[in-house]
């Protein structure tokens, strides 16, 4: 009997086992080909596009920059004071790049998500065409974080003086959930008996306060936002007008204050008085105003905030106006190009 005949008889006798063995071999080969395609020559290979992407982030742990500008101002960012952190997974470097305080020479700025890179902030001229400014790694240009900025132009009717009074009852008042309360809300909430405005509702009070009213029922999670305009960067005297409480309180326990994002402490102790609407003016504190729009935020802090009457600002020059003096320019659809003769294009290699 020949070899072929013997092989045929064996397959006929054990055909079920032979089929199983054949399918097993085919399956192994198929799985192997898929694995090779995926990890050896396909999407996960070292030569693929995704493996060459630098992943990570750049962010400011301490940012000192100007966020509000008049048309034509130079962008201002303090590299000496700001602290920038960079974390990057570079496929060409074995270890992860992790720098807590990135040197000033290793980051810059881009505008409107364009490819133009500015090493120096002052090279950027702010205008209505500048919709966004991003902080960018010099080496890894895809790692960036946006810096909120606003660009304004002066209203034709704008006037400036050396003092400005901002009433609490006309300031922007936010509920604990972040909702901006309307004038009707201030006159009817949290209840119609004693709403936020002390001159409204069934029970009125505070007639001796500036403007004949104060804001009451200020509770946890709420905040005031006051905005004003300065025609130049300058130091101002801030005078806070509040109302006494029956017992003495630390004003800073009731309110947490920021001026253009910077924390401010009054360190004022409010003496005890009669009732809750006796006007009291805190000692002046000095604040730094930036050119353009400025924002003072007063948030509920720990306990017992005094009823708030008004804020008064005083300057040595005629530089102050209310927020109606400015018109926001850079809120339209992003422009497609910007004339930037001062832009600095750098090689991104180390």
CATH architecture of 163-328: Sandwich (2.60)
**Residues 6+ positions from 257 with CB-CB distance below 8 Å:** 263, 264, 265, 266, 296, 297, 298, 299
What is the band of 12 on the pLDDT scale with cuts at 50, 70, 90?
low
Spatial distance between the Cα atoms of 276 and 240, rounded to a whole number of angstroms: 16
60 SS3 class: strand
> Strands 223-230, 172-174: parallel, antiparallel or unpaired by DSSP?
antiparallel
pLDDT per position as a tens digit, 265-292: 999 999 999 999 999 999 999 999 999 9
pTM: 0.72
pLDDT per position as a tens digit, 49-70: 555 889 999 999 999 999 999 9
**Residues 6+ positions from 65 with CB-CB distance below 8 Å:** 75, 76, 77, 78, 82, 121, 147
> Strands 150-154, 68-70: parallel, antiparallel or unpaired by DSSP?
parallel
Cite the residue boundaries of each domain of the chain with CATH code 2.60.120.260: 163-328
Does the pLDDT value for residue 17 go beyond 60?
Answer: no
Residue 163: its pLDDT value, please?
98
pLDDT per position as a tens digit, 92-120: 999 999 999 999 999 999 999 899 999 99
Spatial distance between the Cα atoms of 34 and 41, rounded to a whole number of angstroms: 10
Residues 195-214 have a mean pLDDT of 97
136 SS3 class: strand
């Amino acid at each position: 009997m020949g070899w072929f005949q013997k092989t045929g008889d064996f397959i006929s006798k054990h055909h079920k086992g032979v089929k199983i063995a054949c399918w097993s071999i085919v399956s192994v080969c198929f799985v192997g080909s898929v694995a090779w395609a995926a990890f050896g020559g396909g999407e996960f290979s070292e030569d693929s596009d995704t493996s060459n992407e630098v992943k990570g982030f750049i962010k400011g742990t301490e940012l000192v920059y100007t966020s509000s500008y008049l048309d034509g101002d130079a962008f201002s960012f303090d590299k000496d004071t700001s602290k920038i952190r960079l974390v990057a997974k570079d496929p060409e470097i074995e270890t992860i790049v992790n720098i807590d305080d990135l040197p000033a020479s290793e980051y810059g700025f881009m505008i409107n998500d364009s490819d133009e890179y500015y090493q120096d902030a002052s090279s950027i001229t702010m205008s209505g065409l500048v919709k966004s400014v991003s902080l960018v790694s010099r080496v890894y240009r895809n790692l960036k974080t946006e810096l909120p900025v606003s660009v304004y132009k002066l209203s034709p009717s704008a006037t400036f003086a050396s003092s400005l009074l901002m009433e609490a009852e006309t300031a922007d008042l936010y509920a604990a959930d972040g909702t901006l309360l309307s004038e009707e809300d201030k006159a009817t909430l949290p209840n119609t008996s004693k709403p936020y405005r002390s001159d409204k509702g069934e029970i009125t009070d505070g007639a001796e306060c500036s403007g004949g009213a104060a804001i009451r029922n200020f509770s946890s999670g709420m905040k005031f936002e006051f905005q004003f305009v300065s025609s130049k960067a300058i130091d101002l005297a801030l005078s806070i007008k509040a109302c006494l409480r029956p017992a003495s309180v630390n004003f800073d326990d009731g309110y947490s204050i920021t001026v253009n994002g910077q924390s401010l402490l009054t360190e004022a102790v409010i003496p005890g008085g009669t009732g809750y609407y006796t006007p009291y003016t805190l000692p002046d504190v000095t604040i730094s105003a930036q050119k353009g729009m400025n924002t003072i935020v007063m948030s509920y802090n720990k306990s017992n905030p005094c009823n708030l009457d008004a804020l008064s600002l005083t300057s040595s020059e005629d530089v102050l106006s209310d927020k109606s003096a400015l018109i926001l320019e850079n809120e339209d659809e992003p422009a497609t190009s910007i004339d930037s003769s001062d832009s600095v294009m750098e090689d991104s290699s180390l």
